[in-house]
Amino acid sequence: MFEVLSEKLGNVFRVLGNRGKLTEKDIDDALRQVRLALLEADVNFKVVKDFTTRVRERSIGREVMESLTPAQQIIKIVNEELIATLGDGQSRLASVSQPPSVIMMVGLQGSGKTTTAAKLALHLKHSGQKPLLVAADNRRPAAIEQLVTLGKQLDVPVYNESPSVSSRDICTHAMSESKTMAATHVIVDTAGRLHIDEEMMAELEQVRKVLKPDEVMLVVDAMTGQDAVRVAEDFHSRVSLTGLILTKMDGDARGGAALSIRWVSGVPIKFIGIGEKVDAFEPFYPDRLASRILGMGDVLTFIEKAEQTLDEKKALELQKKVKTASFNLEDFLEQLSAIKKMGPIAQLADMLPGMSRIAGQLPDGAQEEQLKKVEAMIQSMTPYERQNPNIIGGSRRRRIAQGSGTRTSDVNQLLSQFQQMQKLMKMGVKGKLPRNIMGMFK
C-alpha cells in the first residue's frame, strides 16, 4: 500500500545523504518534497502540516545541524514523528475483571465488518480465549448466514436468531448465552449502515446502550482514502468509538487513511486486515508500520510469522541469527519451503529491510517466479559459499549463474541485496540506526 510513498521518501533521503553537511535551506527543500509525497499519498492536509512542522522544529537544531551524519538524524526524526502520528505504542483490547468482554463491531455497508468479526474471533481463539460471535445484523439475512458459515469453518460458536427479531433482543439473549457457555469475549456483528442514515445510527446507539460494550470497534476500508477519516469522526460522535480496524491494508491504494485516521479522530488503530484469508489479520504496531514506510522492514513481524510455521527449535535459531545478523544463505534456503506457508511473497518482502523495493518492481505473480530463481541460485552454491557469501567472487558467480540457468547479474543482485539485508537486520530488531543507513536507499 505504501510502495509509492516509500519510494518517494527514499529519494528525498538519498539526496540529503549525498549533501553531507546540511543547511536550513536543504532541510526546507527536503521537507517540501516530503509534504508533497504525503499529500499525493492522500494523507489529510492538517496531518501533513502538523507532521512536517514537528519534523522541521526538531531538524533545525544542534542535534542535526552539527551532526556528522545529519541525513541519518533526519531519518530518525521522521521515523519517530511517523510513530507519534500513527499512535505511540500498540493499543490493546480492553481487559475486564469480569468476563465476558463485549466487543461491538460497527461500520459502513460493504466495509468487510462481518468477515473482520470472524477474523478477530480467530485471533482471540489462537490467543487461548473463548470467543462467541453474535449475528446481530438483521437488516441483511445473508450476513447472518455468512457469519454462521465462517463460525463453522473456524470452529467458533455463533449466536443467531431469525431476522425478524430486533437487534436489541438478539444482543440481550446472546449475553445470557455467553454466560452459560463461559465465553471470554462476545463479538457482536451489527448491521452495516451509512453514517448519514439517521434512523440506523439511532438504532446503533440503542444497541450500544443495551450491550454496554467494553470496545466499540469501527471497521474501515483503508482504500476509501479521505472519506475513511470522515466516517470515523461521524461514528465516534454517535457511539464513542474505542478502536479502529483497517481492512484491505494489502491493497494498492495510496494509504493516506492509515496515516491520517488516528491523528484526526483521536481513536487508536488496534488491528489491520492484510488479506482475504481469515488468518490475514494482525495487531497494529505503529512503529512497525512506520519502519515499513521508510523502507526499514519489519523483522519482528517476520519472526512472529516464522514462529507460527516453524518448530520451536528452528524458530529460536532463526530469531538468534536474525538478531545477530548472522542469518546466511544456508538459513535462507531452509526457510524457502516455510515461506509459502507464511503468506504472500510481496508481504514478506515488505518486512525485510531493503527487500520491499525489489518486490515492488515485480509485476503481479512474478514474486513467486523470482523466488524459484533465487532458490535455484542458492542451490547452485556449495554449502561453504552459502555460509560465507563474502567469498563468492567473479568466477564463482559465473559458475552459480550457469548452474542455475540465470545471468551473472542476477547472482550479483541477490548477493548485494542479501548483504544489505544483513546490515539492516540489527537495526530492525534492536531499533538502532547504523552509520551506513543511507545504503538502504541505493
CB count in 10 Å sphere of residue 252: 11
Q: What is the CATH number of the domain that holds 431?
A: 1.10.260.30
Residues 425 and 316 in one domain: yes
List % helix, strand, coil for the chain (3-state, nearest 5).
60, 10, 30
- What are the DSSP E strand ranges found in 169-238? 185-189, 215-221
Which residues are CB-contacts of 440 (< 8 A; sequence separation ≥ 6)? Answer: 10, 295, 296, 353, 354, 420, 424
Is 91 part of any domain? no
Q: Could you tell me the residue range of the domain that residue 131 belongs to?
A: 101-292
Residues 149 and 288 in one domain: yes
Which residues are CB-contacts of 59 (< 8 A; sequence separation ≥ 6)? Answer: 27, 31, 73, 74, 77
**Of 292, 313, 344, which one is at a domain's C-terminal end?**
292
Is 414 part of any domain? yes
Query: Residue holding cell 472519506?
Result: 227
Q: Which of 295, 297, 293, 298 is nearest to 258 (CA)?
A: 293
Residues 260 and 322 in one domain: no
pLDDT at 432: 41
Residues 80 and 48 in one domain: yes
Residue pair 40/46 in contact (Cβ under 8 Å)? The answer is: no
Residues 63 and 111 in one domain: no
Report the predicted TM-score, pTM, of the whole model to 2 decimal places.
Answer: 0.69
Is 353 part of any domain? yes
Residues 286 and 143 in one domain: yes
How far apart, in Å, are the Cα atoms of 309 and each of 302, 313, 325, 342? 11, 12, 21, 7
**Of 270, 292, 314, which one is at a domain's C-terminal end?**
292
Is 38 part of any domain? yes
pLDDT at 304: 61
Low-confidence ranges of the chain (pLDDT < 70): 1, 62-68, 194-196, 251-254, 295-319, 321-326, 335-368, 423-442
Q: What is the pLDDT of residues 240-266, one digit of tens each?
A: 999 999 988 876 556 777 788 888 888
Residues 123 and 251 in one domain: yes
The CA distance from 310 to 153, in Å, is 24
Residue 103 phi, psi dihedral angles, 5° rounding? -115, 115
| DSSP letter string, 273-298 | E-SSSTT-EEE--HHHHHHHHTT---
Count of domains forming the chain = 3
pLDDT at 170: 93
